Chain A
Amino acid sequence: MTALTRHRLFWPVAMLAALLLSNLLRGPGFFAIRIQDGHLYGSLIDILANAAPIMIISLGMTLVIATGGIDLSVGSLVAISGALACLHISRQPDQNAMVVVVTAIAIAIGVSVVLGLWNGVLVAGAGIQPIIATLILMVAGRGVAQLITGGQIINVTSTPYKVIGSGFIATLPFAFVLVAAIYALASVIIRRSALGMLVEAVGGNPEASRLVGIRSKTLLIGVYVVSGLCAGVAGLIVSSDVLSADGNNAGLWFELDAILAVVIGGTALTGGRFSLAGTLIGALVIQTLTTTIYSMQVTPQTILVYKAVVVLMVCLLQSPTFRAKVFRRWRGPGGGPPPAPTGAPISPAPQPADRSEVAARTATVSKEQAA
């Protein structure tokens, strides 16, 4: 049993299962899946399809967070990417031509990659804190998106474009297949090469990684480019799903949902170890929570309250300080040995803060003692 609870995916999966089962209490209809016109239908399939944009963004965000950074600009990138694609398609005489759709996708993805590169250069090149560097694009990006759409909502009627967001392939939603493909590709590249380890190294201690010869700058720029790329793809899905681009509201709050998904998935915000599978489950948890609340008879906007509680709980459980303080108390005032991280609710234990910082602290203290 402990081996099971110690697995890094145990708590995210348990959370997802609990959420899904809570729907069962109100009737078995939630789990019903039927085939209609050769497509799978049902609440579960809806969750998979609706979670697609967040899942893709969260994958990119996981890598950024693993390096100890954060990317706040993804929501704005979603808006920009959707706006560019829809603008291009809406200007063509024949919106259904395949070449039009492919060009639109190429433009949107190309610009997203360039904007990701911009973030990466600000963080790795200019050395600006990630939260602030990406804040610039978050603020200005939404303005740019509105500039592209001219403040209007651009509608398109392209059938091939619609496939990305609401089409089906082999009975499954196309968007979900896209997620699966991106995840498979990412896992192979990240985990079957040294890349993942290098990213974790940079997140653990950037300075040490540089000293052992890892090109941390290139890596850092790379993760922001990937994050931009993911946001661009998500923007295509979102705009294709509703066949329109809204510079103002598309992708609003996405950055927060993505960060939440990464945190639920067990990747610590301090950087270091990460789990792509955990992130996907985290994104599913968020979407299931949303769907569950929508199907309950409460104001949908109250979902924010639940999200707040979830964020806080997960962060508290991940905090080594919190676990040390609370779990010691549980074991009685007499003390006993401090709890080993293995017995703690979320495994593996997150990094003990920033290692370079700890080292710096120790150095300062010993220097002062010497003086």
Chain B
Amino acid sequence: MTTLTLAGDRLRRTVANQQRYVPVLATLAVVALMFAFGYSRNEAFLSGQVYLNVFIDNAFLLVIAVGMTFVLLTGGIDLSVGSVMALSTMLTASLVEQRGWPSPLVVLLVLAVGTLGGLGMGAIIHYFDIQPFIVTLAGMFLARGLAHVISTDTIKVTDPTLTRLGDQRIPLSSELKISISVVIALVVVAVAFWVLHYTRFGRNVYAIGGSEQSAMLMGLPVAKTKIWVYGVSGFCAALGGVLFTLYTLSGYSLNGVGLELEAIAAVVIGGTLLTGGSGFVLGTVLGVMATGVIQTLINFEGNLNSWWTRIAVGVLLLAFILLQRVLSARKT
């Protein structure tokens, strides 16, 4: 009898432990369903290249969403990523094309600018105790305005190194190929996974998201961690900008308007709790895939217009937020 209750207890505890995977599994199911639906409408949908194209077209979004995952895990928010991305495309294009600086140096500089911007916002958020929402909103205005100051026209990129990097395709088999950006994005995901799950910094991120007060009482470096997650997000936004420059081979100050919402939506659909403390970077990959597959589905339908993408993403976002509510309500 006691062994039975013990076993039941253990089972219940295992189920409770697994509960944090439910949103991620739900996302996986949705993505699988969308592929099945796409296949039923058009058999070409299930080809490997369609799948890989989702990654090629969304590599920059994936990188930015990974950065956003860090911020959301601490319970913060970063609205500046879309503008920082635009500023990065403009900086890269103008410095390489109009000033003739060597492209590797420019890329490093752009990444440094993004990271420093993020760190600055993080410092203001932490030391002056201002809501992340409004500080990153100011960052959003500032970065977009600076991008406009550089130029309001499109700057084409003709630099041989950048063009080669952008056009280069890596063959996986005779028919399947991916771009360099996808490789970079996947490396970013892998590094983020390692950082979040196997380093002290990652533990601190989860701890602060769970309860900042407890984290502080435990003696964790709250200030450093909180400032650095915005640094990570700024770095990812800048890297996303570099990838976007490679993807479009141009810089434009109106790139990525509303991208912050897409990134937040992808992270939430990927199962990260908006209140912080729970979520997975691999879920974010699924979230980006879900939004990407919606786009592909709508392109395949042909007679549907692009604004259906926004509506579908909105509905999906609502569904996952409600799912989160149900799950967290059951926990308490």
* Residues of A bordering B, CB below 8 Å: 70, 126-129, 131-133, 135-144, 146-147, 151, 247, 256, 259, 263, 269-270, 299, 301-309, 311-312, 315-316, 319-322, 325, 353, 361, 364-365, 368
Contacts and interface: CB of A to CB of B under 8 A. Distances in A.
Nearest to A353: B129
A6 B102 CA distance: 55
A319 B130 contact: yes
A302 B274 contact: no
Given A315-B138, A361-B213, A139 B307 contact: no
Contacts of B214: 364
A340 B313 CA distance: 49
Interface in B290-314: 305, 307-311, 313-314
A312 B135 contact: yes
Interface string B85-124: 0000000000000000000000000000000000000001
B226 to A, nearest CB: 14
Chain B interface category by residue count? 35 or more
B152 A131 contact: no
Interface of B: 77, 124, 127-131, 133-135, 137-142, 144-146, 148-149, 152, 213-214, 217, 253, 258, 261, 264-265, 268, 274-275, 305, 307-311, 313-315, 317-318, 321-322, 325
A138 B138 contact: no
B274 A129 contact: yes
A135 B140 CA distance: 17
A301 B145 contact: yes
A70 B141 CA distance: 18
Closest 7 CB pairs of A and B: A140-B314, A143-B310, A304-B145, A305-B145, A301-B148, A308-B142, A308-B141
A311 B137 contact: yes
B265 A259 contact: no
Given A132-B274, A143-B307, A311 B141 contact: yes
Contacts of B308: 143, 147
Given A132-B321, A308-B139, 19 more contacts: A128-B321, A136-B314, A136-B318, A139-B258, A139-B317, A140-B313, A142-B310, A144-B311, A270-B131, A301-B148, A302-B149, A304-B145, A305-B141, A305-B142, A308-B145, A311-B138, A311-B141, A316-B128, A319-B128
B269 to A, nearest CB: 12
B325 A322 contact: no
A139 B149 contact: no
Nearest to B265: A139
A129 B328 CA distance: 13
Contact of A126 (B217, B265, B325): B325
Contacts of A259: 134, 137
A165 B187 CA distance: 53
A186 B310 CA distance: 34
22 contacts: A70-B133, A132-B274, A136-B321, A140-B313, A140-B314, A140-B317, A141-B314, A146-B305, A146-B310, A147-B308, A151-B305, A256-B141, A269-B134, A299-B148, A299-B152, A301-B145, A304-B145, A308-B140, A315-B135, A316-B130, A322-B128, A322-B129
A156 B309 CA distance: 28
A138 B264 CA distance: 13
A128 B261 contact: no
A99 to B, nearest CB: 31
